[in-house]
Amino acid sequence: MNSSPPPAIALDDVWFGYGPSPMSVPVLEAVTFSVEDRDFLGIIGPNGGGKTTLLKLCLGLLRPQRGRVSVLGLSPTRARRRVGYVPQHAQIDTSVPASVLDIVLMGRLGLSAWGAWYGSAHRAAALDALERVRAAELASRPLASLSGGQRQRVLIARALAADPKLLLLDEPTAGIDAHMEESLVDLLHELNRELTIVMVSHDVAFVSTHLKRVACLNRRAVVHRAEEIGADVISTMYHQPMRGIRHDSDCPLTDPGCHEGCRPAEIGESATGKGP
């Protein structure tokens, strides 16, 4: 009989605060939830609510002061090579004369017995990762020549080059236009057929429309099905009344005059007044 895989992430009564314990101010308090295999979880919450800290705990870059974190059935440090990570602000110097393929090969660093020297198998894996994100034609281009959306695809390819089982993304849609965001959404749903994905986002409408489950995090975490995310849930998390602006599909989001085609709407409601 085949046993079911362990949760991709399991957090049990996790507490964490910055500064010397026990005087540190908690950033996370009693966080308990799990992410199952092939799940697609969004994490939303206010600035300072602990979203990036939670990802760092899952990567083993931080250790909980109380509680337990497991990733793919292992400790976060042991599971790290099986986790792909796309940070919010990737520190890549675009003045360095490196090609897109060079950047993606960085994802193979932990798998190369020769450090930063990559043989044909590693190059093939990097090219395959670029193919998976539909960016193979960018392989020889310098990173500085890419648009924001293209750069995000390259960074996702770098994470995929390590052949992960779990993909963690911190604000992957930040700074890209609506058209590229839609394209990125399609890509992530395609990858979700093979990978578990956890994505931090400030875009409540985005995660409530496109993802399977949503973790509302403001020091404490409550996980909802995406269709349950409404104005009452968001107001509770942000501790103040909230309402969303739902844009029509043809609305130029970056145009200051776009409001003629938009209207206030409940979070989770489509522009037609129906659910997602």
Cis peptide before 22 (omega within 30 of 0): yes
Q: What is the pLDDT along the chain (276 residues), one digit of tens a residue?
A: 567 889 999 999 999 998 876 667 889 999 999 999 999 999 988 888 999 999 999 999 999 999 999 999 999 999 998 999 998 766 666 677 789 999 999 888 766 545 455 678 889 999 999 999 999 999 999 988 888 888 889 999 999 998 999 999 998 877 777 777 778 888 999 999 999 999 998 877 777 777 888 998 999 999 988 777 766 666 666 555 555 545 444 444 444 444 444 444 444 443 333 333
**pLDDT at position 276:** 36
3-state DSSP assignment of residue 2: coil
pLDDT of residue 249: 47
176 residue type, one letter: I
pTM: 0.80
Looking at residue 156, its pLDDT comes to 93
DSSP for 20-84, written as a single string:
STTTSEEEEEEEEEEE-TT-EEEEE--TTSSHHHHHHHHTTSS--SEEEEEETTB-HHHHGGGEE
Please give the domain boundaries of the chain with CATH numbers for all domains. 9-221 (3.40.50.300)
- Is the Cα dihedral 228, 51, 88, 72 positive or negative? negative
Query: Would you call 97 exposed, middle or buried from its count of C-beta atoms within 10 A (0-12, 13-18, 19+)?
Result: exposed
